[in-house]
Structure 1
Amino acid sequence: MTDDEYAAALESERAERNARTKYMVREDDDAFQLVRRNGAGMGWGVNRYISRETADLAAAFLNRLKEDEA
Structure 2
Amino acid sequence: MTDEEYAAALEAERTARNERNEYTVREENGRFLLSRRNGAGQSWGVTTYTRLATAELAAALLNRLKEDEA
TM tier, smaller? over 0.9
Task: Please tell me the residue identity of whatever aligns with 1:48.
Answer: T
SS at match of 2:33: strand
- Which ranges of 4 or more aligned residues in structure 1 deviate by more than 3 Å? none
Alignment of 1:46-57 (within 5 A): 46-57=46-57
User: Identity of counterpart residues, as a percentage?
Assistant: 66
SS at match of 1:67: helix
Q: TM-score, normalised by structure 1?
A: 0.98
Give CA-to-partner distance per residue, 1:23-55, whole Å, 9 cap, x none: 000101110000000000000000100000000
Q: Which residue of 2 aligns with 1:45?
A: 45
Structure 1 alignment gaps of length 5 or more: none
Q: Which residue of 2 aligns with 1:17?
A: 17
CA distance in 2, matches of 1:22, 1:58: 12
Aligned residues: 70
CA distance in 2, matches of 1:48, 1:54: 10
CA distance in 1, matches of 2:60, 2:3: 32
Q: TM-score, normalised by structure 2?
A: 0.98
